[in-house]
């Protein structure tokens, strides 16, 4: 299992966004953090949020970091880059993060909702 430093080794512009995301999650959604080769997961009894770096997989101009949040229903906010339903009653919401201010109160509410559902 890689360390956070290894995960972000070629993506230094993504790290400050991740550090702020981690701070927000630590303050609002006590959870276990699991670093893998492709993403960083946050879990309670189940995983509820994942952070990943699109530049690791996609060419061209991409967001420095994407936050994926699992919820039992589709959220209609236009902020989501994509919402998919991988299984009945489970919707994956993908949010592109470009700046620290993107991690606002609305995102905290989404994380709390996902955290509650994962418990």
CB atoms within 10 A of CB 84: 11
Q: What is the mean pLDDT of residues 28-48?
A: 97
- 37 contacts: CB under 8 Å, gap ≥ 6: 2, 7
pTM, whole model, 2 decimals? 0.95
What are φ and ψ of residue 113, in 5° steps? -60, -45
pLDDT of residue 57: 87
The 8-class DSSP code of residue 100 comes to G
pLDDT band at 20 (very low <50, low <70, confident <90, very high): very high
Q: What is the pLDDT of residues 71-103, one digit of tens each?
A: 999 999 999 999 999 999 999 999 999 999 999
pLDDT of residue 72: 95
Q: What is the spatial distance between Cα 108 and Cα 56, in angstroms, rounded to a whole number?
A: 26
Mean pLDDT, all residues of the chain = 96
The 8-class DSSP code of residue 18 comes to H
pLDDT of residue 64: 97
User: How big is the CA angle at 37 (ends 85 and 100), to the nearest 5 degrees?
Assistant: 70
User: How big is the CA angle at 78 (ends 35 and 42), to the nearest 5 degrees?
Assistant: 15
Q: What is the pLDDT of residues 56-73, one digit of tens each?
A: 988 888 999 999 999 999
């Amino acid at each position: 299992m890689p360390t956070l430093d290894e995960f972000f080794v070629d993506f230094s512009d993504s790290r400050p966004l991740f550090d702020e995301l981690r701070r927000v999650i630590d303050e609002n959604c006590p959870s276990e953090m699991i670093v893998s080769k492709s993403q960083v997961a946050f879990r309670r009894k189940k995983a509820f949020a994942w952070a990943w770096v699109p530049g690791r997989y996609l060419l061209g101009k991409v967001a420095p970091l994407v936050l994926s949040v699992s919820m039992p229903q589709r959220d209609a906010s236009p902020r989501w880059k994509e919402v998919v339903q991988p299984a009945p009653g489970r919707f994956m919401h993908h949010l592109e993060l470009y700046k620290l201010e993107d991690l606002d109160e609305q995102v905290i509410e989404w994380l709390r909702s996902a955290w509650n559902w994962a418990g």
